Amino acid sequence: MSVDLLKLVLRVVHIFSGTFWVGSTLFLTWFLGGAVKATAPEGGKVMQHILARTRFLLVISAASSLTFLSGLVLYDQVSGGFQVAWIRTPAGIALTLGAAFGLLGFLHGFLTVGRANLRAAAIAKQLLAAGGPPDPTKRPSSPSFRPRWPSTAASWPIS
């Protein structure tokens, strides 16, 4: 594969996977989360289905990983192997800031949101298998099962 074709493929992968990753996250946060909360308990069934019976978590993880890895390779290519002289240019500063925010989003997704989603998916699978809510005596009392994001995020005025 030629270098130009590789750059083109990496750019397409970076743009499409990044758009899917960020778009899905914003949709879930701003729209679906509020709708699920407003239509509980029926809305909870939708989230149970998404988490337990689809490959959404795998797909969103793959999209974030593809975005991060393709961006890293593109950054290496455009910076001439992470040359400090290029990084100090206006274009270098702009791409470095973008890369830093992308890295923070990637790490946040895997280290906090990803873990919480895996726990929620396990609970959703148990609920679907049991055909109803769990026995209250078997519910975890740990505060780590409570969401850590502000409850107001779902009510932001996005229309």
Structure confidence at residue 43 (pLDDT): 86
Closest C-alpha to 119, from 144, 138, 141, 154: 144
Structure confidence at residue 141 (pLDDT): 55
pTM score, whole prediction? 0.74
Structure confidence at residue 142 (pLDDT): 52
Sequence-ordered list of residues with C-beta below 8 angstroms from that of 65, at least 6 positions apart, any chain: 106
**What residues in the chain have per-residue pLDDT under 70?**
132-159
Q: Radius of gyration over alpha carbons of the chain, in Å?
A: 20
**48 and 127 Cβ atoms separated by less than 8 Å:** yes
Structure confidence at residue 6 (pLDDT): 92
Output b/e per residue, 12-33; b: 16+ Cβ within 10 A.
ebbeebbebbeebbeebebebb
CB count in 10 Å sphere of residue 83: 12
Query: What is the C-alpha to C-alpha distance for residues 64 and 135, in angstroms, rounded to an integer?
Result: 36
Structure confidence at residue 124 (pLDDT): 79
Closest C-alpha to 48, from 126, 148, 135: 126
Q: Is 45 exposed, middle or buried (0-12, 13-18, 19+ CB in 10 A)?
A: middle
Structure confidence at residue 159 (pLDDT): 46
